[in-house]
Structure 1
Amino acid sequence: MSHIQRKTLAQEVADRLIEEITNDEYTIGEKLPIEPELMKIYGVGRSSIREAIKILSINGILSVQQGVGTFVVSKNIQESLETQISKAEIEEVLEVRSLLDSKIAAKAAMNHTKKDLETIKLYLDLRGKLAEENQAQECYLADLNFHIAIAEACGNTLLKEIYKVASKNILKTFEINNNNNTDSFKISQNIHADLYRSIEKRNSEEASIIAQKIVENLF
């Protein structure tokens, strides 16, 4: 297990600077004090100051002009790398879903058992109920389980496993995109019910089209 890294001094200085810039203690266009001054203010060595300035210039907050000084250019910290990476993962997960969902739904329409249908329906109803009650986390999970239950019903074990792996990241995407809110899940409950009915009727063409619409948010 990797330990949580203690913040480096540079990161602490960077955080303090961001706070001060946000509170207008340093305004946009203002030049920061020179290195020896900053070292005194924050009580750290030169390398920590340089590193902090580097962090903030990468993030578009500061601009270092050789021989002139370091200037505040923005208050909006750009997304952290972590957020960018998780967004990239999200894009990939959504791509996997858009490639797989319609195929899986079509196969589930052809291959489902009575027990599969009961599980899909269980999560469909749960998803709707939790959306109405604004229980965000539980609702996201029920939605995920609804789609996984369809994958379970498709009759292809490998497809099901691939889908389950891809789904692990989807919860994170829901949290980021929906901000702990269930409004979009209330709106999409009907189309999810349509998907269930098309699978129940063994209409694989219709199931495929509806699943694709869900992925592309066309409802």
Structure 2
Amino acid sequence: MQVGELESRSLAEQAADKIEQMIIENQWNPGDKLPNEMDMVEKLGVGRGTIREAVKILESRNVVEIRRGKGTFVCNDIGKIGDPLGFRFASDKKKLAEDLSDFRAMLEPQIAKIAAQKATDKDIEDLQRLCDEVESMICNGENYSERDIELHTKIASITGNSIVEQIIPLIAQGVSIYVDLTNHELAGTAALTHQKVVDAIRSHDAIAAYEAMKAHMKENRENLELLKKK
């Protein structure tokens, strides 16, 4: 790479950082459209080529998305990459499922405990709906993974903790890999343990919510152990 190319790349990185700062300072939300290319040239005092390169950098960071013919927009899941820890490349999916199950067991009971303390009537209504949908899908032999993820994600979001919200993708990965690995055949009493968690949150019983989620995590882990015997 020539010196000129290095300088150009450095300038593009700086422009990308400045655009990120604009998004933060202007409190632009997911789906908001960024100023057009010429406005960016004027605001940042750089050339069009540098702006285009900066936008590509931000696209790779999942900060913006380019919609052909429409412009550049703030990403829905801004800054979040679909598989940040590269789980899809793990060769031993069973070991990965076990590790994720153990990780969830460390966190989700406490998350449920906090959710029981903070849940609103609307939160509880949403949880019950998701719980009912998961139960119905299990009974019908359908793939319930997506709804299961929504249920656990909702519980985590109720905490209102920004760090917890950042690890929700790990919880989702754990649910998804578990369900896929067990081929939906080991749902066991998931519907019952889900309901116990929701009931405890509805009662704002933090200890009961903790214990119900702990039991749910224990059941999942035991189901994974059953896979070793097959």
Could you state the TM-score of these two structures normalised by the residue count of structure 1?
Answer: 0.55
Give the whole-Å Cα distance in 2 for the aligned partners of 1:141 and 1:127.
9
Give the whole-Å Cα distance in 2 for the aligned partners of 1:186 and 1:111.
29
Tell me the amino acid that sits aligned with residue 183 of structure 2. Answer: N
Give the whole-Å Cα distance in 2 for the aligned partners of 1:190 and 1:88.
26
Give the whole-Å Cα distance in 2 for the aligned partners of 1:188 and 1:205.
19
Structure 2 unmatched ranges of 5 or more: 1-88, 223-230
Aligned to 1:191: 193
- Render the CA deviation track for 1:39-68: whole Å, top value 9, x for unaligned: xxxxxxxxxxxxxxxxxxxxxxxxxxxxxx
- Render the CA deviation track for 1:136-194: whole Å, top value 9, x for unaligned: x2x12212211111111122121122133332243122111x2243xx43622122111
CA pair 142-94 structure 1, distance change in 2 beyond 3 A: same
- Render the CA deviation track for 1:94-153: whole Å, top value 9, x for unaligned: 122001111000000001122221221111010011111111x2x122122111111111
Aligned to 2:109: 102
State the superposition RMSD in angstroms.
Answer: 2.1
Give the whole-Å Cα distance in 2 for the aligned partners of 1:180 and 1:195.
21
Are 2:156 and 1:151 equivalent residues in the alignment?
yes
Shift in Å, 1:87 = 2.5
Tell me the amino acid that sits aligned with residue 203 of structure 1. Answer: D
SS at match of 1:179: coil
- Render the CA deviation track for 1:16-54: whole Å, top value 9, x for unaligned: xxxxxxxxxxxxxxxxxxxxxxxxxxxxxxxxxxxxxxx
Structure 1 unmatched ranges of 5 or more: 1-81
CA pair 204-169 structure 1, distance change in 2 beyond 3 A: closer
- Render the CA deviation track for 1:70-111: whole Å, top value 9, x for unaligned: xxxxxxxxxxxx774322322221122001111000000001
Q: Is the contact between residue 127 and residue 154 of structure 2 (CA under 8 Å) also seen in structure 1?
A: yes
Could you state the TM-score of these two structures normalised by the residue count of structure 2?
Answer: 0.53
CA pair 180-210 structure 1, distance change in 2 beyond 3 A: closer
**Given the alignment, which residue of 202, 205, 208 partners 1:203?**
205
Q: Is the contact between residue 152 and residue 171 of structure 2 (CA under 8 Å) also seen in structure 1?
A: no
Q: Is the contact between residue 104 and residue 174 of structure 2 (CA under 8 Å) also seen in structure 1?
A: no
Larger radius of gyration: 1
Aligned to 2:216: 214
Give the whole-Å Cα distance in 1 for the aligned partners of 2:115 and 2:92.
33
Aligned to 1:140: 145
Give the whole-Å Cα distance in 1 for the aligned partners of 2:175 and 2:159.
20
Give the whole-Å Cα distance in 1 for the aligned partners of 2:124 and 2:214.
20
Tell me the amino acid that sits aligned with residue 154 of structure 1. Answer: T
**Given the alignment, which residue of 172, 175, 178 partners 1:173?**
178
Give the whole-Å Cα distance in 2 for the aligned partners of 1:173 and 1:166.
11
CA pair 83-160 structure 1, distance change in 2 beyond 3 A: closer
Tell me the amino acid that sits aligned with residue 124 of structure 2. Answer: L
Are 2:89 and 1:85 equivalent residues in the alignment?
no
Q: Is the contact between residue 101 and residue 174 of structure 2 (CA under 8 Å) also seen in structure 1?
A: no
Aligned-pair identity in percent equals: 18
Between the two proteins, the alignment pairs up a number of residues equal to 133
Shift in Å, 1:215 = 0.2
